[in-house]
């Protein structure tokens, strides 16, 4: 007898169940309206791009009033509670954190970066982007593809967001909110495209 997977009951998790799972181990999870998704692990390219970007930003921000963070630091997303795990973020001035069920969550990011994966790309481009852009301190949001050189750059201008796309390894992405410049050739260093 064949089982129709669409007819199987779906378990919707409560926030308390989610927080229990978050506190049980070293893996990171995101909560999406009753569903829980593991954010740990990823492709070699994803890890290299995230690492390259974090290294570049740490170097350029050294000695300045902004600090880069890895995916270990979640971001508070009040419109999409409780929080999200971007690949890289930057906070300027004093980085502020709040405790959400024993987790230190950054509340004032200036820049957020997501390295796109096939399983998360749709949410990163839509729901997460909208939730991140609702954070008052956020000035810039980057989406970085891993299977081809391409960065989508959103920058806040008054109450609107301007979008620019960069797809040439010789391109430079200027990040005015943190006074940094990203060379695509450095972001994609040691990445081989199929």
Q: Omega before 73 cis (within 30°)?
A: no
Beta strands of 39-187 (E only): which ranges? 66-69, 75-76, 83-84, 88-92, 97-100, 103-106, 111-115, 140-144, 151-157, 160-166, 172-175, 180-183
Residue with tokens 């064949």: 2
Beta bridge partners of 164: 153
Predicted local distance difference test score (pLDDT) of residue 121: 86
Structural domains of the chain, ranges and CATH numbers in brackets? 43-187 (3.90.1570.10)
What is the residue-level pLDDT of the chain in tens, covering all 194 positions? Answer: 444 445 555 778 777 777 777 777 667 776 767 776 666 557 889 999 999 999 999 999 999 999 999 999 999 999 999 999 999 999 999 999 999 988 999 999 999 999 998 877 888 899 999 999 999 999 999 999 999 999 999 999 988 999 999 999 999 999 999 999 999 999 999 999 87
Q: Provide the percentage of residues in the chain whose pLDDT is more than 70.
A: 89
Predicted local distance difference test score (pLDDT) of residue 119: 78
- 79-97 pLDDT tens trace: 999 999 999 999 999 999 9
Predicted local distance difference test score (pLDDT) of residue 7: 56
Closest CA to 57 of 169, 150, 173, 180: 180
Predicted local distance difference test score (pLDDT) of residue 37: 67
Spatial distance between the Cα atoms of 30 and 113, rounded to a whole number of angstroms: 16
């Amino acid at each position: 007898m064949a089982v129709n997977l669409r007819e199987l009951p779906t378990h919707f998790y409560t926030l308390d169940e989610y927080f229990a799972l978050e506190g049980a181990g070293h893996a990171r999870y995101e909560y999406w309206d009753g569903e829980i998704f593991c954010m740990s692990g990823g492709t070699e390219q994803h890890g290299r791009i995230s690492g390259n970007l974090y290294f570049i930003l740490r170097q350029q921000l050294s000695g300045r009033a902004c600090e880069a963070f890895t995916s270990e630091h979640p971001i508070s997303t009040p419109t999409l509670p409780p929080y999200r795990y971007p690949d890289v973020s930057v906070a300027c001035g004093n980085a502020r954190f709040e405790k959400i069920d024993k987790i230190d969550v950054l509340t004032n990011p200036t820049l957020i970066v997501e390295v796109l994966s096939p399983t998360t790309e749709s949410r990163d481009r839509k729901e997460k982007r909208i939730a991140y852009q609702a954070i008052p301190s956020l000035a810039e949001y980057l989406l970085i593809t891993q299977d081809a050189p391409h960065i989508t750059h959103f920058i806040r201008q008054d109450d609107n967001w301007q979008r620019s796309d960069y797809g040439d390894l010789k391109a430079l992405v200027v990040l005015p909110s943190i006074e940094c410049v990203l060379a695509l050739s450095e972001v994609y260093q040691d990445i081989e495209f199929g």
